[in-house]
Amino acid sequence: MAKLRLALAQYDFAVGAVAANAAKVGGLIAQARSGGAGLVAFPELTLSGYPPEDLLLRPSFLAACDDELKALAERTHGIAAVVGHPHSEGEVFNAASLLRDGKVECTAHKQALPNYGVFDDKRYFRPGHATVTTVIDGVRLGILICEDVWQPEPVAQAAASGAELIMVINASPWDECKQAEREAVLQARAQESGCAIVYLNLVGGQDEVVYDGSALLVNGNGSIAARAPAFVDALLWAEFDPATRTLSAEDWPVAADSSIEATLYAALVRGIRDYIDKNGFPGVLLGLSGGIDSALTLALAVDALGADRVTAVMMPTRYTSSLSLDGARAQAERLGVEYHVIDIEPTVDAFIIALAPAFAGKGSDTTEENLQSRTRGVMLMALSNKHRKLLLATGNKSEMAVGYCTLYGDMCGAYAPLKDVYKTVVYRLARWRNRAGIGDWGFGIRKGALPLDAGFSRIPNPQSPIPEEVIERPPSAELRDNQTDQDSLPPYDELDAILGRFIESEQAQAEIVAQGFAADTVRLVVRLVLLNEFKRRQSAPGPRVTTRAFGRERRYPITSGWH
C-alpha cells in the first residue's frame, strides 16, 4: 500500500489580510506540489486569520473569503489542499474545505465550539454536526478543526467511517501548560480510535494571543512520531504509512533549547515583532529605568526587531540612583540602541509649583510620587508621537495584579510584553537570556535540511545583554528616598505564589492560608487584586502566556460588592 506524502503549512496568516493570506496559500500549494505532496494542509481559519472577531459580522468580509477560496481551488490540479476559512450559508461556520482538481470538493464544519478562556466561537459560529471523511491517494482521511479533537465523539465518528488518518487544523494559543495538554489529548484520541493524527497549528502573534505552531505527528497506537519547534514558520514534510498507521517526519527542524524559559522568551519575542510589524510601526521606544523589568523588555525588543528599531530613554530625578543610571547606560551600550537621558526634575518641579495653591494645607504623599511617573509618561508619549515609534509599557503581571503601577504614568504604552509574566519569572527569563549568550540563544533551531531562519536579530556586543547588577539589585520604583518594592508588597516569591493560587487556580483565601501563607498577607493581596480591576481595564494589551491572563480571559467586574 502506497504511502501518502504530506506538506504541513505551519505559518502565520494575519487577521483580516484575506488577499495576502490567499496569495501565501497559493504559493505554498505550488511548493507542496513541486515537492511531491499528495496533500497540503493549512491552519484553522487560514483565509480570515484567527480570531477575526466581529469582522465575521460583515458580509463583505465573508464574501471576500469565499471568493479567495474558490480562486484557490482552481490552483489545486495535481494536489489536494485542506484550507481553513469562515463559511457562510445563511449561518456562519468555522470550516475546513478540501480543494482538489479545481473545485471545492467537500467542507467540514467545526463541531465543538469553545467558549472559555480566550475563545468566543459561540458568538460567531454555528456548530457542525458530522465528521467529514474523504479519500486521498487511497488513504481515508478524517478532517477535524481544533476543539473537535478535544472531544471523543468527532474522532469516533471518523473511525466509524473508516478513517485511517485524521487531519486536525488548529489555531491554538500557546501558554506554559499547553503542549503537555495537547499531547495527552492527541495520544488518548489515537489510542481510542486507532487512527493516526496530524496536528497542524497556526504560528504568530495576534493582539493578546500568540500561536506557537508546534505541529505534532501521532501514530495510530498513540506514540508521538514527531514534534515541530515552537514559533518557527516552516513547510513541514511528512509521510503516512496506512499499512502500519504510522507517520514519519522528513528533516523537521529541532529546537536548540526546549526549556520553558526558552519557549516563553520566544513567545514574547514573537508577540512583540508581530504586533509592531502587523500594525506598521517602524520601531519601538521604552523608558529604561535601570530596573529588571525595563531591562528584560529592552532585550526582548532588540531580539524581536533589531537594535536599529529600538530607542531607550532614561528619565532621572533626584531619587534615581547611580546604580540605575550606570545600569541603564551599560545595557543600552551593550545592545547598541539609540539612547537618551532626559532630566525630568525641572518638569516635576513645575507641576508641583503649579499645583501648590490647590494642594495648600496638604502634606506630600503618593501624589507627588505619581507625578514623577506621569511626567515620564508624558515625555515618552511625546517621543512616540514625534518619531512614530510605538511605546512599550514595561510592567509585569505581579504589579498589574496588585495595582503597583501608575495610571497615565508607567502604565503608558501601546503594548506591554510582560503583562502576563510574573516578577519571579522576569528574573528567570533575564538570567536565561544572559546564559543563552549571543549565538543561538537557546531558542534557535538546528536547521537540518530545511532552509529555515529562526528570525531573531543579533546584537553587537558579546557581553550579557542584561547587566548582572541590574538583576541582583533590590527592585525599586525610586520615587522617594531609599524606596524598595518590599516597602509596599510582600517578597515577590511569596506574592507570586499567592497570586498564582488566587488567579490561575481560582483558590479561595482559606485554601491559600491552609497551604502555609499568613492570613493577613493573603487578605492584603486578594484585596489589592480585586480593588485594582479598574487599572487593568485601562492597561495596554500584551501577550497571553499563562493559563489565566488579565483582559479577555479573566473578566471581573470593576464595581462589585463581592470581597
Residues labelled as active-site residues? 44, 110, 146
CA 40 to chain CA mean position, Å:
26
- Using CA atoms, how far residue 141 sits from 134, 146, 227, in Å, is 5, 16, 21
Rounded Cα distance between 118 and 204, Å, is: 16
> Quick one: three-class SS letters along 154-201?
HHHHHHHCCCCEEEEEECCECCCCHHHHHHHHHHHHHHHHCCEEEEEE
Helix, strand and coil in the chain, % to nearest 5: 40, 20, 40
276 contacts: CB under 8 Å, gap ≥ 6: 283, 284, 304, 305, 309, 390, 415
Cβ atoms of residues 227 and 207 within 8 Å: no
Residues linked to residue 239 through DSSP beta bridges, in sequence order: 5, 248
Tell me the three state secondary structure of residue 410: coil
Distance of alpha carbon 440 from alpha carbon 437, whole angstroms:
8
| Cα 169 to chain centroid, rounded | 18
Backbone angles phi, psi at 512, to 5 degrees: -65, -45
Contact (Cβ atoms closer than 8 angstroms) between residue 432 and residue 443: no
- Cβ atoms of 166 and 187 within 8 Å: the answer is no
Question: Which of these, 432, 513, 420, lies nearest to 466 by C-alpha position?
Answer: 432
Which amino acid belongs to residue 320? T
* All residues at 6 or more sequence positions from 197 whose CB lies less than 8 Å from its CB, including other chains: 149, 165, 166, 168, 186, 189, 190, 216, 217, 218
DSSP strand pairing (196-201 vs 216-218): antiparallel
Grid cell in block for residue 217: 505527528
542: phi > 0 → left, psi -120 to 50 → alpha, else beta; which? Answer: beta
